[in-house]
Chain A
Amino acid sequence: MQFFLDFEKPLAELEQKLKELRDYSTDGVDFSSDIKKLEKKSEKLRDEIFSNLTRWQRTQLARHQVRPHTLDYVEHIFTDWFEVHGDRNFRDDPALVCGFARLDGEPCVVIGHQKGRDTKEKVYRNFGMPNPEGYRKALRVMQMAEQFGLPIFTFVDTPGAFPGIGAEERGQAEAIARNLREMAALTVPIIVTVTGEGGSGGALAIAVGNKVMMLQYSVYAVISPEGCAAILWGDGTRGPEAAEALKLTSMDIDALGMIIDDVIPEPAGGAHTDHVAAAAQVKSYLKKHLAELQKLSPEELVEQRYQKFRAMSVIEE
């Protein structure tokens, strides 16, 4: 699937030219020096664009249509994956996927928001916005992880909880809150990766981890830039300004020094340009943190997680 953001387009045009040149080269004509020149130019342009991204452009990258989603990471990182469905209460929520798998042979639980790529799937996945039954399914599966002593990997990628009548009637506030409380007490390792959009309570409901990481071009905030703009200025189109104010990029959040443990570097041009390489990078971080956490006892895991979140405040007294 081809899709380019506005600021990616000059780069995409160069890449297209390069591709054409390479295709001609196979016919016995030598373009190698032109290709080299163009490759240099392309690399330089990419560096230029990507070293000067605004917070809004980074938000757009985090939402990029071709960006790897949870099931892409599952495919490239894990084996033996099987998805499980339903909260045993109301229905299955396709916006939040849960299942079991192996990480290099090690059994584990994988949970993540799931967005769609084409229109039909986007609607089916509700644009990655869970309903209460999604959080409740996640909690059911996380408690199973505890029962069987399996580590939990979560992948965060949602604009936020779904603002719908049914979601309110079925208690989405209660569902999110319960996850926060119950995740705090789980006796198995929880490793959280914000892969795309970390949007408000809908993100946090699967993000209370012993380790929390963000991909380089992911964002994480208390509210979406559009939602923030609507509240502050009564104008949802002022998202770019709100993104600046919210300081929502991985760099911003890393700078606070207490929220995330690592920023995972992405392939040049963003994770969407190379799913396999992005997943390989994520996998190496998951393995590193899992190895560390496996040294802790169940009680120590709970305490380490508690202290991690307990320390999150900036106050004056």
Chain B
Amino acid sequence: MAWFKKSKAPIAPVVNKKVQMPEGLWTKCKNCEEIIYSKEIERNLNVCPKCDYHFRISARERIALVIDEGSFVETDPEMKSVDFLKFKDSKKYSDRLKAALKKNGGGEAVVTGSGLMNGMEIVVAVFDFGFLGGSMGSVVGEKVTRAIELGLEKQAPVLIFSSSGGARMQESILSLMQMAKSSAALAKLKKAGIPFISVLTDPTTGGVTASFSMLGDLNIAEPKALIGFAGPRVIEQTIRQQLPEGFQRSEYLLDHGMVDMIISRREMKQKLTQVLQIFTKQSPAA
């Protein structure tokens, strides 16, 4: 329990060093470093009740938050990555994939499908940071592209919730090409007049930011999310300067004109519905 030693005694909740705590009962907030009862965070949609930091959530949890219960139809759940370069660093890519599949119980770094949002049909692609850091290789690029094409086919708005470290190095050049492929599909969607909303969650960086994530008709961020192209560490090493306060956080991007609004998880579904009803000229639901 690494959080324990770093906690500031006066503000920590009732924690007794001598009392054995079951793993996971308490969580240390990454942002404010407060130690909070895990159940309380969960009840709060995985948002820190002290500082409003939005914890990373799985694709399934995200889908449950925005799609009407029982309406989600997943597309391409069986699509799998291939280690076609026989990429090896400290581990083989094929072994990394196996481990991620096992940990995640299947799937990939993005879950796609269609469903209803307050009764409105939409197509969604939701990233899972837990699967190889949400990185984009062939499968992620293909699923995102197919989701955009499904939106075209159904004439339904497309929503992408990003959370990704960027392009997947283990597929090298082909990962890079997924940026072009998915962005090209968005050109078709735009021409067809179908709305695309990009929701950027913590963290969204690299090749995902530099493709569809920044191309929303609206770019919406969750509070305090890290959003950028180059990682902060790389920038710091290159320019050998300290980065400004709040650099590459949602609020900073809003100030610099890169996102349209910041919406908290609690209000996300309602706001998205409101926005899309206006974009598609539907009257608000009763």
Contact = CB atoms under 8 A, between A and B. Distances in A.
A208 B180 contact: yes
A282 B210 CA distance: 30
B241 interface: yes
Interface in B117-149: 138-139, 141-142, 145
Interface residues of B, number: 63
A271 to B, nearest CB: 21
A145 to B, nearest CB: 17
Contact of B174 (A227, A232, A306, A313): A313
29 contacts: A164-B235, A164-B238, A164-B239, A168-B230, A171-B257, A173-B228, A177-B212, A181-B186, A181-B215, A203-B176, A204-B176, A207-B180, A222-B167, A222-B169, A222-B172, A222-B176, A227-B234, A230-B234, A247-B172, A259-B173, A305-B184, A306-B188, A309-B184, A310-B181, A313-B138, A313-B141, A313-B142, A314-B84, A317-B80
A315 B186 CA distance: 21
Given A163-B238, A168-B248, A177 B80 contact: no
Interface string A169-181: 1111110111011
Interface string A204-222: 1001100000000000111
B83 to A, nearest CB: 9
B191 interface: yes
A312 interface: yes
A222 B256 contact: no
Contact of A177 (B211, B230, B234): B211
B110 to A, nearest CB: 13
Nearest to A201: B210
Interface of B: 76, 78-82, 84-85, 87-90, 138-139, 141-142, 145, 167-169, 171-181, 183-188, 190-191, 206-207, 209-215, 228-230, 234-235, 238-239, 241, 243-244, 247-248, 256-258
Contacts of A227: 234
A182 B187 CA distance: 7
A316 B80 contact: yes
B169 A310 contact: no
A182 B258 CA distance: 18
Nearest to B77: A317
Interface of A: 161, 163-165, 167-174, 176-178, 180-182, 184-185, 200-201, 203-204, 207-208, 220-223, 227-228, 230-233, 245-248, 253, 256, 259, 305-306, 309-310, 312-317
Given A165-B241, A232-B89, A315-B79, A221 B209 contact: no
Main SS at interface, chain A: helix
A165 B244 contact: yes
B209 A228 contact: no
B219 to A, nearest CB: 8
Contacts of A313: 138-139, 141-142, 174, 178, 181
B80 A315 contact: yes
Given A168-B247, A177-B213, A222-B172, A201 B184 contact: no
A316 B82 contact: yes
